[in-house]
Structure 1
Amino acid sequence: MQASAPGFGTRGRALPLLLVAVAPEAPLEWLAELDDPRFSYRLAHSGQEALRDLYRYQPDLLVLGLHVRDPGPWEVLQRVRDMTAELRVMVAARHFNGPDALRALDAGADDVVWPEMPEGLPKALLLARLRRATPVSPPDQLLEVGRLRLDLASREVGMGGQYVPLTPLEFDLLHFLARNAGQVLSPEQLLHHAWRSRPGGDAHKVKYAVLRLRRGIERATGEKAPIETVRGVGYRYVLPG
């Protein structure tokens, strides 16, 4: 089975993209059902490859096998949830294991699938999750603030003509700041909109995410990032001039 090449439309793709991370020595039998005109997919055979493809392709759904290694599934899942609370994650095992299923759901997975499920059910769950992946409407695809340009379809960032590589979380954080340029936003507001966190989330994580965002912009452009800290209040994207 060969992974299909990602198309363009939803987040810059024509079809929702499914990323499947499974160890090559422990394939999942139902993966043979993945050839489907309603979505595209990619295969990753290590945790490192999965994390790289998450950053590169911005998939709409991740299927994470519990036998994946380098790093293992629990570290991959933790790093995914550190980046985004939005991505749907299905954990897949060759055999049902109650403690592993509970651990996966507690760590942030949305579903658990295994071969003993009734025939056709794993794929039906995939399609149900992928239906939530909706295209960005053309009028809202671009946001330009001064020298900053955000393409919401491809989720790419440029500043002063320089490409700025960002993680999904950093992109969402910059998008919310730039969309409200000139306005001071509290850590709680950023936590709610960029992380989609429930009330009561840890606002301290915002400080470090803003720091990483600034460094990413400055490394790419060689200029000071236009994000200002307003002591005791929050953060502001500084308007040109």
Structure 2
Amino acid sequence: MRTPAATPDPRPFRILIVEDDDTIGRHLESGLRANDYAPTWSRTGSGALAEAERAPYDALLLDLGLPDMDGLDVARRVRDRFPALRIIVLTARTDDIDVIAGLEAGADDYLVKPFSLSVLLARLRAHLRRQYTAAPLHEPVLLDDFVLDTAARRCTLDDAEVPLRPKEFDLLAVLARYADTAVSREMLMARVWDENWFGSTKTLDVTMASLRRRLAEAAESAPRAVRLPRITTLRGHGYRLETDPA
């Protein structure tokens, strides 16, 4: 059954497929086109990097086992060059360390092969819907020496901007909105990823670890001692952003 992609503007979403397997590549290309996406298929990492520079894309479907370079290197370079681009890793690697490596390299999500086209389309729609939903125009949130401006999507610590990836910013925004309140893992997955998310929530743990690291690095590089909200892990439940750790 044909599942139309809900788009916020008349143009179809442009999807860059990076897959060296002919059967999988053709299946993805034809399946996406049949569902109102505009796919471009590249069989190599270098070709994908060149294509990403040539035209704007909304999402990248990335196989890790490429003939010319490691897919993780492609993810890192794309994430550095195009921070807003959604990256979904498609991999046959099932070990936790491989999944974590993909997320650490900048991927927003991953699917382990073999997977169904319907599952891929559901994940893709969820990511694109959140990417193109306008952020609410709230007043900036002030927490200690830390400011989160959701309208401008800027995070600053002692007036210095903290570079955050899209999911890191979204995760921090939810925690800041409910500062000093316990927020469950289920709520974070629903608000930051998708309300119908199913499967592993390892992506939450990896994103949280990366967010903590970026905030700590920003605090360490500040010219003076700063007060930084602390993200506390609540075992068996979720997390809490504490505005007064003392």
**Under a length normalisation based on structure 2, what TM-score does the superposition of the two structures give?**
0.49
**Under a length normalisation based on structure 1, what TM-score does the superposition of the two structures give?**
0.49
